[in-house]
Amino acid sequence: MTVRKLQQRRGWAWNLAVPIIKPLLLATTTREWIGGENIPESGGFILALNHVSHVDPLTAAHIVYDHGRLPRYLAKSGLFKSRAGAWFFTAAGQIPVERLTKNAVGAYDAAVEAVRRGECVVVYPEGTITRDPGGWPMTGKSGAARIALATGCPVIPVGQWGAQQLLAPYTKKPDLFPRKKITMKVGTPVDLSDLVDQPRTGAVVQQATDRIMAAITALVEDVRGETAPAERFDMKKAGVRQIGNPNKKDRA
């Protein structure tokens, strides 16, 4: 059920996607949305979620769209490599990110401008699907924090669970039936007010990142009814690849 009517102009890409994707999600999932009123009705903000499945962008778009906003994603650049992909995702307002490269700064600049234009920018601060053995949020990357500190915009944390049952990590075949329950709990804005006017040092950015990840993790704990590990999983310390399928062996 739509909670708020969309006030923004959708454009052709959304006009094409919504009639296809939304009925598919309604047919294959049940939804428990908690705290959706915390999604701002207007103005620029960051929606920061934990990442458990490649289907996450669709389920996140569902809750954002049904609360009257269009999501703009920091999306991996591979989606833009084909002419058709670049045409569609650009028209939908998505922002390509060349992960683990110096070119990622261009995505940061684009995200800052989108927020300043009053857009909803969706960020998965972990940067990839969680590698934590229990599916818990990992340590976060700095993008969401840096955008928030540059713009002073609200960071709305979301803890979500269930999408991994619809499409398990790094698999291509979804498990569509029976319908999977997707639970999303939207929190109140992360308090970064004391950091916005401070010099943007690495320590300040890390503190903001830690607050965002702590808020997301607390919401995931609420959704799952469990307690997260005391220390968040760190891909670098664990020596696992940061992008791509961690189970796939590199070719010699």
What pLDDT digit, counting tens, does each position of 4-34 carry?
999 888 999 999 999 999 999 999 999 999 9
Counting Cβ atoms within 10 Å, is residue 145 exposed (0-12), middle (13-18) or buried (19+)? buried
Provide mean pLDDT across the span 110-115. Answer: 94
Computed over every residue of the chain, the mean pLDDT equals 92
Overall pTM surpassing 0.75 (yes/no):
yes
**What CA–CA distance (Å, rounded) separates 213 from 190?**
10
Q: Which of 27, 12, 4, 20 is nearest to 174 (CA)?
A: 27
Confidence (pLDDT) at 252: 36
* 241 pLDDT more than 90: no
3-state secondary structure of 82: coil
CA atoms within 13 A on the CB side of 1: 4
Chain Cα centroid distance, residue 234: 18
Q: What is the pLDDT of residues 47-102, one digit of tens each?
A: 999 999 999 999 999 999 999 999 999 877 777 888 888 898 889 888 887 755 55
- Percent with pLDDT over 90 in the chain: 79
Helical H runs in 152-226? 163-166, 202-224
Identity of residue 224:
R
Model pLDDT, residue 105:
65
| Structural domains of the chain in order of their starting residue, each with its CATH number | 29-168+178-225 (3.40.1130.10)
